[in-house]
Chain A
Amino acid sequence: AQTVTQSQPEMSVQEAETVTLSCTYDTSESNYYLFWYKQPPSRQMILVIRQEAYKQQNATENRFSVNFQKAAKSFSLKISDSQLGDTAMYFCAFMKPLNTGFQKLVFGTGTRLLVSP
């Protein structure tokens, strides 16, 4: 069974600075997907970024980028130019693709990020 580990329960960063959230996972699969989801105080789950394991290039979405190290099974999220609106819980998630297209995500326990002025 796949497992996802987020070893940082809480992190703090000042506005405009850069912060990196860590995520490691365990799987015997060679093809899979990795995700970072953001959950602000509103509780809404928002997809931040997605990485396909077969792609060597790290995914980037505006201020958000990942450092995907497949051999090390590591998938960290870097947030550049942090903004107050980035304050949220961040979840790392793993998905093994199935032929049916059904998505069965395995989530980590989350990292609470606080961005201060």
Chain B
Amino acid sequence: NAGVTQTPKFQVLKTGQSMTLQCAQDMNHNSMYWYRQDPGMGLRLIYYSASEGTTDKGEVPNGYNVSRLNKREFSLRLESAAPSQTSVYFCASSEAGTIREKLFFGSGTQLSVL
């Protein structure tokens, strides 16, 4: 089982460039999330999708947009990358309706914005 798959694993952008981080899960989970991880900051929630067709802002949504393309896929877009967006990005999913269920994480995307 693949679980949560993120692409790409590494990316270097120039300031002002745009890109989309892709995430797909094969566990039929309703809820999906995007986190960023910065040194000394832990993981912070960027956006989430509680169910297919819905998306909401997390703690740090500025500079990002998301699309819940279908139940499996949840993409994160940087329209105009800035050096402050240099980070490791994690996608995660969980089963809605069972709050005891754990979060499943992808392996992360290391993004550098120069």
- Tell me the A residues contacting B by CB distance below 8 Å: 4, 9, 33, 35, 42-45, 47, 50, 52, 91, 95, 97-98, 100-105, 107-110
A45 and B40 in contact, given A101-B98, A103-B103, A104-B48 (Cβ under 8 angstroms): no
Q: How many residues of B contact A (CB 8 A)?
A: 29
A44 and B107 in contact, given A91-B43, A107-B44 (Cβ under 8 angstroms): yes
Digitize B66-95: 1 where CB-to-A-CB distance is under 8 Å, 0 elsewhere: 000000000000000000000010101011
- Tell me the B residues contacting A by CB distance below 8 Å: 30-31, 33, 40-45, 48, 50-51, 58, 88, 90, 92, 94-103, 105, 107-108
> DSSP class of A's interface residues: helix, strand, loop or mixed?
loop
Interface centre among B44, B94, B99, B108 (most CB of A within 10 A): B99
Give the shortest distance, in Å, between A100 (CB) and chain B (any CB): 6
